[in-house]
Chain A
Amino acid sequence: MRRIMVGVKRVVDYNVRIRVKPDNTGVITEGVKMSINPFDEIALEQALRIKEQGLADEVLAVSIGPADTQQQLRTALAMGADRAILVQTDAAMAPLSVAKVFQKIAEAEQPFLTLLGKQAIDEDNGQTAQMLAALLDRPQATSCSKVDIADGKATVTREVDSGLETLEVDLPAVLSVDLRLNEPRYVKLPDIMKAKKKPLDIKSVADYGVAEGAAFKTVKVDPPPSRQKGIIVKDVAELVGVLKQKGLV
């Protein structure tokens, strides 16, 4: 079975305006829309395309999170994943612990390719893919904007600060994906019905012998400092005047 494993995180939807709790213990997540992390959606889309090219037999979506994460996994199944595993927990999970759970799943499921988003848009850690690759002692390529699979290898283009970098990695490998890799498909109603019948296994973190809990103590969460309100100038002459006065040109 040529299998691709995809990590799917449940996060606050990217359109939601983030508000910090008044007691500074976190951000408000009660009653806000939750979605699949957008980068993970791109990872899933890529897995489905690779399968549609006839280069894989099965796409497995895995997630760690509360019971409601089943919603995001059902969406993943409706997009086209074949089955899903939810490692259910209400606890915070350190990035290294997430990578350790994924490591255990990968060792059992033997995917030839693991695709993850380059970061989750809630905590913006950007660690899981690299850690998973390290724990499995396998190649990694982060921020991929192009992925080609052939002859037991992946040729990937990465978005780096200086432009684009191309690497060749032996499979199995762990890749993290960037925004420009693809545009995820929309889910159609019949697929949502079909997804209800697809297998979704529920496991616990303890099943994998990994500890729950955050990596670090949260001291506090603050809103970002706001900028001072600026001025509106009426024309170019006034703009140049202000810039010169500030010594900026």
Chain B
Amino acid sequence: MSKILIVAEHDGGKLNASTAKSVTCAAKIAGATIDVAVLAADAAVIAAEAAALAGVSKVLVVESPANKEPLAAVLAPQIAKLAAGYTHVFGPSTTFGKDVMPRVAALLGVSQVSDIMAVDGSHTFKRPIYAGNAILTVEAPAGAPVVATVRVASFAAAAAGGSAAIEKVDPGAALPSHTRFVSRSGASTGRPDLQSAAKVVSGGRALGSAENFKLIYSLADKLGAAVGASRAAVDAGYVPNDLQVGQTGKIIAPQVYFAIGISGAIQHMTGIKDARTIVAINKDGEAPIFESADIGLVGDLFKIVPELEKALG
């Protein structure tokens, strides 16, 4: 019988959608009991959101000023203590989970299963290797805890409608003071979140400048879409790094993805493999993006994008 603990991701005030997706992954394990751990300074709202996820039995709350910022060195010893009695400990494969979960795994004396994209059994999982160019099926040993990160683009969010019990706990772990939070930048843009948006409009190097990227923002706003970018556009300084889509940026699974002036390098395509529909607009008809696009339009983006925005009314 599997007993799964999911480490909640949040921004200090609200639960991140990656948690609901991790719950869906955990629920693929037959007969599993799923609990969620919320470590925060002020956990009331976050815990209530976690308790409302369908399939969650219990929410464990560790409320402490030390948990105000998600510092792996501070969180990991607490999570490792909470993990006692659980067969599995899952976290999202976001920058939060990638940071903290391997530290938890080491404290529990196991290697981690990184980036679960499919569940074949309680200890058998599929995960991408070589930037998604191969899919590895691994079997973790029974009798040791399974510590894993969940590739959030591979799972839908668990529905609301649950009513889990919320329980305050004190893991009693000694916490280090050698790591201190200084600051975070990358303010909210008012647009949908790139990682969870149903529609995404991305621009590439062909935009040519930060100024020209306004075309992308404008189309995105018309569609109610999030904005993304290729690594080339980020490296050229047209947009900040948190907009990067691809193997080294964000891996996303929107309903529709517009790739505008993006050639379609492998590392970019890895980030959008799970997009339902890919629309490519590029003046080079031979660009690799057209091999993966569901709908392609060959032409000058500077003409097409304004025209498209207008045609959308």
**Interface set of A (CB-CB < 8 Å, partner B):** 12, 17-18, 20, 27, 94-97, 99, 121-135, 137-143, 145, 155, 158-170, 173, 178-180, 215-224, 227-237, 239-240, 242-243, 246, 248-249
Contact = CB atoms under 8 A, between A and B. Distances in A.
A220 to B, nearest CB: 5
Given A168-B182, A216-B111, A216-B141, A161 B195 contact: yes
B159 interface: no
B307 A236 contact: yes
Contacts of B109: 96
Given A95-B102, A131-B105, A155-B182, A243 B296 contact: no
A145 B180 contact: no
A179 to B, nearest CB: 6
Contact of B130 (A121, A158, A160): A121
Contacts of A161: 94-96, 195, 242, 250
A167 B105 contact: no
B106 A169 contact: no
29 contacts: A18-B130, A18-B134, A97-B111, A124-B128, A124-B131, A125-B114, A127-B112, A129-B102, A131-B105, A133-B73, A159-B242, A160-B96, A160-B186, A160-B242, A161-B94, A164-B186, A164-B242, A166-B181, A167-B71, A168-B180, A170-B179, A219-B138, A223-B133, A230-B294, A233-B297, A236-B297, A236-B304, A242-B295, A248-B256
A248 B255 contact: yes
Contact of A99 (B76, B106, B132): B106
B197 to A, nearest CB: 13
Nearest to A20: B134
Given A124-B128, A242-B295, A222 B106 contact: no
Contacts of B140: 215-216
Nearest to B174: A137
A166 B129 CA distance: 29
Contacts of B105: 96, 127, 131
B257 to A, nearest CB: 10
B107 interface: yes
Contacts of B255: 248
Nearest to A18: B133
B103 A131 contact: yes
Contacts of B292: 227, 230
A203 B186 CA distance: 45
A2 B145 CA distance: 38
A27 B242 CA distance: 32
Contacts of A123: 129, 136
B308 interface: yes
Contacts of A140: 72-73, 99, 103, 179
A230 B290 CA distance: 8
Interface size class of B (residues with CB under 8 A): 35 or more
Nearest to B110: A96
Contacts of A239: 279, 295, 297, 308
A22 to B, nearest CB: 13
A248 B186 contact: no
Find the residue from B94, B185, B273 having the highest chain A CB count within 10 A.
Answer: B185
A167 B180 contact: yes
A126 B151 CA distance: 13
Nearest to A125: B114
Per DSSP, are chain B's interface residues mostly helix, strand or loop, or mixed?
A: mixed
A121 B113 CA distance: 16
Given A140-B99, A168-B180, A227-B292, 12 more contacts: A130-B100, A159-B95, A161-B242, A163-B184, A219-B124, A222-B137, A228-B294, A230-B278, A232-B296, A234-B297, A240-B311, A240-B312
B115 interface: yes
A133 B72 CA distance: 10
Contact of A27 (B94, B134, B185, B294): B134
Find the residue from A122, A125, A126, A134 having the highest chain B CB count within 10 A.
Answer: A134
A143 B172 CA distance: 29
A243 B295 contact: yes
Contacts of B136: 123, 218, 220-221
Contacts of A169: 178-180
Given A139-B73, A142-B99, A230 B295 contact: yes
A128 to B, nearest CB: 8
Contacts of B312: 240, 249
Nearest to B266: A17
A126 B94 contact: no
A239 B294 CA distance: 11
B94 to A, nearest CB: 5
A231 B296 CA distance: 6
A235 B184 contact: no
A62 B231 CA distance: 30
